Chain A
């Protein structure tokens, strides 16, 4: 079956613009995670969904970051008023249930100019 997909793969935004990043998890996967990966670093946790419920958003760096998963499948990560420090690769992962192996998408590379 299909893996985790993310779109767009690349996004260039001017500082101050809003962006929306999409994640399509593996069908039937209940858990969904967002991570941020800066250049040369490991991914850092942003937020976690169990179905449509956002159970942990402790990693979101500011109130400019917002994530949703309204129907418990596709998720969107939105960044308002983008700043240069938001430039990174945003990775989405899904797992069958909590505590199970996570499968990652290819990521969206965001560049803020």
Chain B
């Protein structure tokens, strides 16, 4: 059974810092990996999707990498801003037909 782990559960940083959020998964036979953002009381917003054949994806200040062999993905946020404060979840797909398996998320607080 696929398990997805995100550590730490919470992180607080001052504005302007570059930071890395980690995600690990137990089964390297994944189809895709997706990073989401969730604001309190809201649904999930997709940030980046990395296909299994890719090693990284970039969108603005966000960069996500994928290392299937080691079962790891990282989300890099450059020059963090208070508006980045949210919970960040990673999720993996086992196959094209399969559901997403989520981690518990990392709650990020960026202090002004």
Q: Which residues of A contact B (CB under 8 A)?
A: 4, 6, 33, 35, 40-45, 48, 55-56, 59, 91, 93, 98-99, 101-107, 109
Residue pair B103, A42 in contact (C-beta under 8 Å): yes
In the complex with contacts A56-B99, A98-B97, A102-B34, A43-B44 CB distance below 8 A = yes
B residues engaging A (CB < 8 A)?
A: 4, 31-32, 34, 36, 41-46, 49, 89, 91, 93, 96-97, 99-105
The answer for the CA separation of A33 and B93 in the assembled complex, in Å, is 13
In the bound assembly, the distance between CA atoms of A105 and B41 in angstroms comes to: 11
B91 neighbours in A (Cβ, 8 Å): 42
Cross-chain contact of B104 among A40, A98, A109 (Cβ < 8 A): A40
Check A101 against B49 for contact (C-beta < 8 Å): yes
CB distance from B53 to the nearest CB of A (A): 13
On whether A101 and B102 interact (CB within 8 A), knowing A42-B91, A91-B43, A106-B43, the answer reads no
Q: How far is the CA of A89 from the CA of B46 in the complex (A)?
A: 18
B4 near A42 with CB under 8 A, answer yes
Contacts of B101 in A (CB 8 A): 45
For A98, list chain B residues within 8 Å (CB).
96-97
A-B contact pairs, 28 of them (CB 8 A): A4-B43, A33-B100, A35-B99, A42-B89, A42-B91, A42-B102, A42-B105, A43-B102, A45-B99, A45-B101, A55-B97, A59-B99, A91-B44, A93-B44, A98-B97, A99-B31, A99-B32, A99-B93, A99-B97, A102-B46, A102-B100, A103-B46, A104-B36, A104-B45, A105-B43, A106-B42, A107-B43, A109-B41
